[in-house]
Amino acid sequence: MTGAQTDSTAILAAIYGAVRALQLYPAENEVVKRGLKEVRELADRILAHEGGLSVWVAGNYMFVNDLQLRLDLHDYASLAALREVLRGHGVGRMEVDPKAGDEDWQTFLGLIATDPAPGQPPLDALHSALESKGVTHITIGPPSPLFEGSEGEQSGEAARRTYTRSVKVAREMMEGLVLGKAIGARRAERAVLAVVDQVLQEPATMIGMLTLRDFDDHSYVHSVNVSILSVALGDYLGLNREQLFELGFAALFHDIGKVLIPASVLNKMGWLNDEEWRLVSQHPDFGLLMLFNVEGFADLPYRAMLAVYEHHMKPDLSGYPRVIRRRRQGLFARIIALTEAYDAAISNYSKQFLPCSPDEAIRQLREAETGAYDKVLTRAFVNMMGIFPVATLVILDTGEMGVVVAPNPNPKALSRPLVRIVATADGERVGDGPIRDLTERDPDTGQYRRTIARSSDPARYGINVADHVA
Ligand SMILES: [Fe+2]
Ligand SMILES: [Fe+2]
């Protein structure tokens, strides 16, 4: 990240932090003062550098002085929440000039921290309030017509398109292999890069795509899902784009050896006999051999080949293929083993098990026996996904129903994600309702306003969770 990126992301996070503090505490509280000070310092630094500070909300993106911010999973939550706050007031743009002082900031933040009163259009109300309080160095405006009508759709649509296209490419390549065609490196490369870029840009939205159920063909969907989750985890661990590409490629092809196994065995109901099991457990060997058949790479994709070969080996080497000499299961294979277990748990690929909810899948991974998955990676994965991962349908203790849209920006609040309300306590559907931060407390009692009571099955309510994530 460049310095400008860091400052820009930091100021938005600081503004949101101050707004939250003002919602919870009186203006003279220490937390509020600290929040304001942070905003002031960051704003002054940007103003000194660039002479002005303007913030734009555009669809699912935010711009600070023309710099489009990359929302990664950490910032995503607070930036998405700030975006909602601004949108609630009809604000598409705010401009700060270098003369803005403490009082301007305090008044402005205080006003946007309060829900707009009904009656007047919110932007007009905010305008007059700023004017009457003499704030002239911070100004606001409506969303740009350029981005109007694209609220939330832009990125959601882009994510959906990337996802659908990747499933298609995966299918064509794997079907081609069955017919003896080689995998074209170029096509595979394009599909993987699209996934990498989309995950880097909007990880939460892409992870939400895992719940799309409009595809009949499991194996391709599984490959793409594992690719998305692996790239997201790799990014979380700090891998660079080139490494993420290799990891995404390995993940997309991790089960490619299965194309050589008869569908009657793969889709068999009930337990496999010895012969069938022997075949299935050979898919890592088959996959390794098949990757020799990739055409058009300058070098063979060795790291991916290794990961495909090792993905069922397990850290304690108790899996398959059996190894004679001690070795260490590679990082990519460990990542894939974890993400594919998660995807298999939440999906209905297997004829033997019912799919479970995302939070249940996370619980299973956390409680898995030692040796099954890498412990450190499991912890990182859980931290990244949260206890209630993106796209979990949750029932709150208020009786409201919501869909998890992002983990909480506070890494300690693993079980208090950001939730979009989709039904009120009376059971009334509200479509895309407001996003609520579950760390929000009632200032009078100090109690959390909302807590997750349990997760639920979206199919029971006819809810397509992917629609609510973006
Ligand atoms: Fe596998
Ligand atoms: Fe798999």
What is the reported pLDDT for 148?
44
287 CA to middle of ligand 1, Å?
9
Give the C-alpha separation, 31 to 36, whole Å.
Answer: 9
Q: Which residues contact 345 (CB under 8 A, 6 or more apart)?
A: 355, 356, 360, 361, 364
Residue type, 337: A
Give residues whose Cβ lies within 5 Å of ion ligand 2.
255, 340
283 CA to middle of ligand 1, Å?
7
User: Mean pLDDT for each consecutive 10-residue tract of the chain (470 residues)?
Assistant: 72 91 88 93 91 80 75 66 85 90 93 84 89 92 60 66 86 81 81 90 85 70 94 94 94 92 83 91 93 78 93 94 91 97 85 80 92 93 91 94 87 88 89 87 90 89 81
Helices 218-236, 241-252: axis angle to 10 degrees equals 160
Ligand sitting nearest the alpha carbon of 229: 2
348 to 210, 357, 366, 430: CA distances (angstroms): 12, 11, 21, 28
Region of 446 (left: φ > 0; alpha: ψ -120 to 50; beta: rest) is left
Domain chopping of the chain, boundaries? 3-147, 153-385, 393-469
What is the reported pLDDT for 154?
57
What is the reported pLDDT for 233?
96
Give the C-alpha separation, 321 to 306, whole Å.
Answer: 12
Ligand sitting nearest the alpha carbon of 230: 2
Find the helix or strand (DSSP H, E) in which 192 lies. Answer: helix 185-201
340 CA to middle of ligand 2, Å?
5
Residue 106 in 3-state DSSP?
A: helix
* DSSP-derived secondary structure for 285-308: HHHHHHGGGEES-SS--HHHHHHH
Ligand sitting nearest the alpha carbon of 309: 1
Q: Do β-strands 294-295 and 93-96 pair in parallel, antiparallel, or remain unpaired?
A: unpaired
340 CA to middle of ligand 1, Å?
8
Could you confirm whether domain 153-385 is CATH 1.10.3720.10? Answer: no
319 CA to middle of ligand 2, Å?
14
Give the C-alpha separation, 167 to 342, whole Å.
Answer: 18
Q: Which residues of 109-121 are buried (b: 16+ CB within 10 A; e: fewer)?
A: bbbbbeebeeeee
User: What global pTM score does this model have?
Assistant: 0.70
Question: Using an 8 Å Cβ cutoff, are 138 and 130 in contact?
Answer: yes
